[in-house]
Chain A
């Protein structure tokens, strides 16, 4: 990867850097993400910003994370709490580049998914490519999953048994009805402490993300109201890729220990309104 300090126009005679640098770079750690914002680069005349380059600064070198048109970027990170440093360079329409912005740092929040997995489907990596029918075969859902998803932890295969897209009652292509995804897992004994539920999405419908009812062993736990996405997750499955327009979201909550029992446990997610959601991963976790 190129480094942000290599902004000179070497090999481009007759050119020079764009004046100044991006200012106001700020970083804020969140769940599975670090939000970076900065002030728009001040252009002159008809000049336009082609894009900004966002770099993570590490001891091993500087890594280009993304090229973005917008004066903000969400760095998708894993479930662990990690402190990272960043800088940003503006590239204008002529190809000229500014000096790097003053670095900013933030620590991401620790996700429940960083705990010990009791039952997990998929990887918490902002990609849904490991699931059945991914990235764009949702039209086959009615034929492939006529009884909806019924997944057994430890036996089922995400690539075959968990659909990347969970349709809602607003989806004509899936019969305009509620759809329930079921996750079954065994416990040797009822847990003594509360467990945690983590659900990460790579995207959802922009204007009709809708709701789902989360239940454990038949007991309703909570109605999840999904945030609007970009309506692209039905067609592409990698929200971590630079340039992706997908809008991931995450939902985490504790699950009371008395919801569970020794033997088979059944977690269900019933889409009760709106259109589809697109999975990154979900699971039940024990605190470590």
Chain B
């Protein structure tokens, strides 16, 4: 796709930043070796303390990830690594003991990319479980595992999934992830707010743990700040365990950069020019710390984060509802302007084309903020972009477009509702269903109902609300998509809370709308 029109300031940034591919190819394991690998200093400590991960599962492969960091919280953001390139070998095997290695290769961990590697594995069989590990300078990583996507040509393809979002480390423990790992989903959809940029102080440190120190007290701004913030959040063992147990498909929301940002606009006093510098380092740190495809490596302040994956019976439309959106509206007239966009013109066209031509049994939209209509003042959600929402609903309702289910993060609540062809007419037909996932930790313990319950549940199209922490656990096959909510009773005190099931809903193919099944 082409990028949206750039302002003169952004053009000058891009010219200054330039665009190169050498480091990218080396980190992806596609080309090159570390020049200094032979002479790079020996690693005295375990360099895999940030864990291992996989992502972007396809029927024939996945992206593997690790970031070498023997001292993850070293103040300079480089994880205690010497400033040298390291060759990192990787293996993929059919068995956990690596007796049947089916693919192997080498990637280069460069200091420019925070010593992260993102090797792309191909040539695997669909719907199969594989194990992987890394090795560098005589040190072998923990073993991770992933399952390739089901064969899209098979009518019997099915999969289990979980969605997660909003993991404010300082607001609580990630016990929901421990419950998720026990449920053993085939794939995890992460829907935004992997980190939070805010300074961590006694005022917001609700997690029963010591404060992480002065280096984390201020809002993230530099690349080192963002790298450190990822390292802090990724220090949680339950998060690392879910990364090692299943492939993730991630999309960011606002807090990977700054609260509520819209494209080039910061709402916290930064000029456009300064904010684009910040977006560039934030996107870089996001790429370095997540199992993302090569195309997600930013070019200056721009990164291609929306993409489409085929996963068994479903087309997964991974959206970017931050990078191209119009600013918050100044008034109702601007809010309801017909040309207003949440995704940007190009991503809209890309999405609509993909929805119409996916050829899949289901269209699953993985995105950031609530699509369903709630209230006029929720202008950071699609409520602030009603014309854009209507254009999307119109496409979802077109004949020949596969049934659509939307999975959403952001709201820190477990909420489910149907999507109507026209929200102004509650009697209009259902064109899709939306499952908004609660947070892993953001906002602390939560409660079944809270001050937002009335806003959301006032509408006849809403079906469920719960304000506790947790996630969505689902299943998809040719006949139906089911989505159930799971919760933990608390997150602040310790990581000992056990997960439990809340309501579960089923969307049957050919019968729009969700029905409660348990």
Which residues of A are found within 8 Å of B110, using beta-carbon distances?
A: 94
Taking each of B85, B223, B225, B267, which has the highest tally of chain A beta carbons within 10 Å of its own beta carbon? B223
Which residues of A are found within 8 Å of B219, using beta-carbon distances?
A: 232, 243, 245
Q: A45 with B20: in contact, given A14-B39, A69-B277, A135-B203 (CB under 8 Å)? A: yes
Q: Which residue of B lies closest to A47 (CB)?
A: B112
Contact of A136 among B203, B224, B274, B297 (CB under 8 A): B203
9-residue interface stretch from B11-19, B59-67, B162-170: B11-19
9-residue interface stretch from B74-82, B205-213, B507-515: B74-82
Bound form: Cα–Cα A12–B39 in Å: 12
- Judge whether A43 and B18 touch: CB under 8 Å: yes
- Is B429 at the interface (CB under 8 A from chain A)? no
Q: Which residue of A lies closest to B110 (CB)?
A: A94
Q: A95 with B83: in contact, given A46-B112, A48-B17 (CB under 8 Å)? A: yes
Bound form: Cα–Cα A153–B16 in Å: 54
CB distance from A15 to the nearest CB of B (A): 3
- Is B8 at the interface (CB under 8 A from chain A)? no
- Judge whether B269 and A229 touch: CB under 8 Å: yes
User: Using a CB-CB cutoff of 8 Å, which residues 226-267 of chain A contact chain B?
Assistant: 228-232, 235-236, 241-245, 247
Which residues of A are found within 8 Å of B84, using beta-carbon distances?
A: 12-15
Which residues of A are found within 8 Å of B280, using beta-carbon distances?
A: 48
Q: Which residue of B lies closest to A52 (CB)?
A: B222
- Judge whether B281 and A50 touch: CB under 8 Å: yes
- Judge whether B112 and A94 touch: CB under 8 Å: yes
- Is B237 at the interface (CB under 8 A from chain A)? no
Taking each of B17, B24, B39, B84, which has the highest tally of chain A beta carbons within 10 Å of its own beta carbon? B17
B interface bracket (residues with beta carbon within 8 Å of A): 35 or more
A interface bracket (residues with beta carbon within 8 Å of B): 35 or more
User: Using a CB-CB cutoff of 8 Å, which residues 257-289 of chain B contact chain A?
Assistant: 267-270, 274, 277-278, 280-281, 284
Q: A46 with B19: in contact, given A93-B112, A247-B269 (CB under 8 Å)? A: yes
- Judge whether A69 and B112 touch: CB under 8 Å: no
- Is A117 at the interface (CB under 8 A from chain B)? no
Which residues of A are found within 8 Å of B83, using beta-carbon distances?
A: 9, 12, 14-15, 94-96
Which residues of B are found within 8 Å of A207, using beta-carbon distances?
A: 267
Bound form: Cα–Cα A237–B87 in Å: 46
Bound form: Cα–Cα A68–B270 in Å: 13
- Judge whether A14 and B40 touch: CB under 8 Å: yes
Which residues of A are found within 8 Å of B300, using beta-carbon distances?
A: 48
- Is B448 at the interface (CB under 8 A from chain A)? no
User: Using a CB-CB cutoff of 8 Å, which residues 279-312 of chain B contact chain A?
Assistant: 280-281, 284, 297, 299-300
Which residues of A are found within 8 Å of B269, using beta-carbon distances?
A: 206, 228-231, 245, 247
CB distance from A19 to the nearest CB of B (A): 14
Bound form: Cα–Cα A228–B268 in Å: 10
Q: Which residue of A lies closest to B278 (CB)?
A: A69
Which residues of B are found within 8 Å of A94, using beta-carbon distances?
A: 83, 110-112
CB distance from A21 to the nearest CB of B (A): 16
CB distance from B448 to the nearest CB of A (A): 24
- Judge whether B76 and A95 touch: CB under 8 Å: yes
Q: Which residue of B lies closest to A230 (CB)?
A: B269
- Judge whether B277 and A70 touch: CB under 8 Å: yes
Bound form: Cα–Cα A226–B278 in Å: 26
- Is B457 at the interface (CB under 8 A from chain A)? no
CB distance from B64 to the nearest CB of A (A): 21
Q: A13 with B281: in contact, given A45-B23, A50-B77, A51-B224 (CB under 8 Å)? A: no
Q: A12 with B82: in contact, given A69-B277, A243-B221 (CB under 8 Å)? A: yes
Which residues of B are found within 8 Å of A228, using beta-carbon distances?
A: 269
Bound form: Cα–Cα A46–B281 in Å: 11
Bound form: Cα–Cα A71–B302 in Å: 20
- Is A30 at the interface (CB under 8 A from chain B)? no
- Is B218 at the interface (CB under 8 A from chain A)? yes
Which residues of A are found within 8 Å of B82, using beta-carbon distances?
A: 12-15
- Is B338 at the interface (CB under 8 A from chain A)? no
- Is B517 at the interface (CB under 8 A from chain A)? no
- Judge whether B18 and A44 touch: CB under 8 Å: yes
- Judge whether A46 and B277 touch: CB under 8 Å: no
Bound form: Cα–Cα A96–B111 in Å: 9
- Is B142 at the interface (CB under 8 A from chain A)? no
Q: A68 with B221: in contact, given A43-B18, A46-B17, A50-B281 (CB under 8 Å)? A: yes
Taking each of A70, A136, A230, which has the highest tally of chain B beta carbons within 10 Å of its own beta carbon? A70
- Is A67 at the interface (CB under 8 A from chain B)? yes
- Judge whether B222 and A232 touch: CB under 8 Å: no
Q: A245 with B268: in contact, given A14-B83, A68-B222 (CB under 8 Å)? A: yes
- Judge whether B284 and A69 touch: CB under 8 Å: no
Q: Which residue of A lies closest to B267 (CB)?
A: A206
Which residues of B are found within 8 Å of A15, using beta-carbon distances?
A: 82-84, 111
Q: Which residues of B contact A (CB under 8 A)?
A: 16-24, 36, 39-41, 76-78, 82-85, 110-114, 199, 201, 203, 217-219, 221-225, 267-270, 274, 277-278, 280-281, 284, 297, 299-300
Q: Which residues of A contact B (CB under 8 A)?
A: 9, 12-15, 40, 42-51, 67-70, 91-96, 135-136, 206-207, 228-232, 235-236, 241-245, 247
A12-B84, A14-B39, A46-B20 given. 19 additional CB < 8 A pairs? A9-B83, A12-B83, A14-B36, A14-B40, A44-B20, A46-B21, A48-B17, A48-B280, A48-B300, A51-B221, A51-B224, A69-B281, A93-B111, A93-B112, A95-B76, A230-B269, A231-B268, A232-B268, A243-B221
Interchain residue pairs with CB less than 8 A apart (12) = A13-B40, A15-B82, A15-B83, A43-B17, A48-B281, A50-B281, A69-B221, A69-B222, A69-B278, A92-B112, A96-B83, A243-B219
